[in-house]
Structure 1
Amino acid sequence: MSGGPIMTALPPVPASLGADLASKGFGYAPAMQTMPWLEGYGLKDWPGFAESWNNLGVDRFMADGGRYRRRRYAVFSVRCPEGQEPILTRKPHQPHYQSRDYNPINGGVERWFNPIEDHIAHHPAMQACLKAALSRANALTAPEKRPPSWHVEVHQFRIEAAPGMDGNPNPEGLHRDGVDWVYAMMVQRRNVQQGDTTITALDKKTPLGHFTLTNPMDVAFVNDHKVYHGATPVKPVVEDKPAWRDVLVITMRHE
Structure 2
Amino acid sequence: MKYESAMSTVMDVRSEYIRTRWAFVDGASMVSLLSSLGATDEDFERLKLVSDQLESDPTLPFRKSRNGRICLDPRTRRGYRLETQPFVLSREEDFVRHDSETLRGFDEVQDDLQLNTALQAMLVFKFLVIHGVDIARRPRLDYGRAEWICTLFNLRTVTTAGLLGEPALEGVHSDGVDHTMTTFLSARNMTADSAETFLHDMREVNGIRWNETDPALVRGRVGHRDFLDTLLVVDHEYKHSVSPVYQIDDTESALRDMLIFFTRKPTEKGHVSFRYDSVAPHRTLPMSFGMPAALALVN
Q: Please say whether Structure 1 and Structure 2 have the same fold, judged by a TM-score greater than 0.5.
A: yes
Deviation string for 1:4-48 (max 9, x for gaps)?
A: xxx978723358733332122211111122221111211222121
CA distance in 2, matches of 1:9, 1:211: 26
Relative contact order higher in (CA < 8 Å, ≥ 6 apart): 2
Give the corresponding residue for 2:78.
Answer: 87
Distance of aligned partners of 1:38 and 1:60 in 2 relative to their CA distance in 1, 3 Å threshold: same
| Larger fraction in helix | 2
CA distance in 2, matches of 1:104, 1:32: 35
Give the corresponding residue for 1:223.
Answer: 234
Give the corresponding residue for 2:14.
Answer: 18
CA contact (8 A) 2:183 2:258 kept: yes
Look up the SS of the partner of 1:12 in the other structure: helix
Give the corresponding residue for 2:258.
Answer: 247
Give the corresponding residue for 2:179.
Answer: 181
Give the corresponding residue for 2:278.
Answer: none
Aligned counterparts, 1:152-167, within 5 A: 152-167=150-165
Give the corresponding residue for 1:111.
Answer: 104
Distance of aligned partners of 1:239 and 1:8 in 2 relative to their CA distance in 1, 3 Å threshold: closer
Contiguous gaps of at least 5 residues in structure 2: 136-142, 205-213, 267-299
Distance of aligned partners of 1:9 and 1:150 in 2 relative to their CA distance in 1, 3 Å threshold: farther
**Which consecutive segments of 4 or more residues in structure 1 shift more than 6 A?**
7-10
Question: 1:49: how far off?
Answer: 1.8
Look up the SS of the partner of 2:69 in the other structure: strand
Give the corresponding residue for 1:76.
Answer: 70
TM-score after normalising by structure 1: 0.87
CA contact (8 A) 1:200 1:208 kept: yes
CA distance in 2, matches of 1:247, 1:229: 16
Alignment equivalent of 2:31, drawn from 32, 35, 55: 35
| Larger fraction in strand | 1
Distance of aligned partners of 1:211 and 1:10 in 2 relative to their CA distance in 1, 3 Å threshold: closer
Matched length: 240
CA distance in 2, matches of 1:188, 1:70: 14
Deviation string for 1:43-100 (max 9, x for gaps)?
A: 22212122110011111223xxxx111100000111124xx9x411111111111113
TM-score after normalising by structure 2: 0.75
Distance of aligned partners of 1:9 and 1:15 in 2 relative to their CA distance in 1, 3 Å threshold: closer
Give the corresponding residue for 1:236.
Answer: 247
Task: Tell me the percent identity.
Answer: 20
| Cα root mean square deviation, aligned | 2.1
CA contact (8 A) 1:199 1:210 kept: yes
Structure number, greater radius of gyration: 2
Aligned counterparts, 1:124-163, within 5 A: 124-141=117-134, 147-163=145-161
Contiguous gaps of at least 5 residues in structure 1: 1-6
